[in-house]
Amino acid sequence: MRGAAHLADRVLGALRGSGGVGLAEFLDSCADPTSGLGAVRLVGGDVFLPHVVLDRPLSSQDAEVVAASFEVFPPVVAPATHEQRVMAWCDWSTTRELARLSGDAPVATPEDPVAVLGPVREWARWSIAVAQLSSLAYPGAAGPVVEAVRAQPVALCRGAVRTVLRRDFGTASRLARWVAFLHAAGIPLPLDPALLVGHIGLRVGAEPRRLLDLAVARHLVEVA
C-alpha cells in the first residue's frame, strides 16, 4: 500500500507539471521489484493520467512496466465476488488504455456492468460501487460502466451528497470525480460540481490517491 501511495504521488506530481511519472524509474527505486509491480497494479489506469490529461507520449519502457505488472499479477478471470468484479473492470480499463497508448489491439470487455454496480434503485449501494471504479472516469473515457453511470446522474449525485454528509471524504472524492466527468460531458446535474470538489478538497486530507481523484475532478470541471 505504501508503494501504491508513493506511485500515486508521482502521478499527481506529473499532473501538476513536475515531469513524467517515470514508471521504469519508479520500479528501479523499489527495493523489491515485485512490490513495485504490485503498486502499479493497484494504481491501475491512473498511471496513464498524465498521458491522457496532458497528452504526453507513453515511453516503451513505461509500457513494458505496466505489461510486466500483469505478468506478475495476472488479471482476474471469471470474477465471482464483488471485489473481483471491481478488479476485473479496473484491469480492463488499464489494459484498454495501455493498448490505445501503445497502438495494440483493443481488449474485450468483462461482464455486464450491472453485475458490479447492482440495481440503481439501491442508489446508496450502487454509488459505493461506482466510487470503487473511479479510475474509469477520466477525459475521453468510454465503455459500458461509463455509459451506465452517465445514465444515472441523480443517483450519482445522491450518493455523493450522502458521503459528504457522512463525512466519508475518501469515497466522496471518488464520486466527485464521476460527477465532474458527467458535468464535462454536458449532462445536467442537480448540484454544482465545482462547489462539491471545493468542499471535499478542504476536508479530504493528504492521501495521494484521493488527491489524485480530486485533481482529475478539478481538471474535468475546468474544461467543461
Instruction: List, as one string, the DSSP characters of 40-86.
Output: HHHHGGGGGHHHHHS-PPPPHHHHHHHHHHHHHSPPP-S--SHHHHH
125/58 same-domain check: no
Q: Which domain holds residue 59?
A: 1-81
**pLDDT tens digits for 151-172?**
999 999 999 999 999 999 999 9
How many domains are there within the chain?
2
Angstrom distance (rounded) from CA 174 to CA 179: 9
15/72 same-domain check: yes
Distance in Å from the first CA to the final CA of the chain: 33
Q: How many CA atoms lie within 13 A of 220 on its CB side?
A: 30
Q: What is the pLDDT of residue 106?
A: 67
199/116 same-domain check: yes
Q: What is the pLDDT of residue 50?
A: 93
Positions in the chain short of pLDDT 70: 1, 105-106
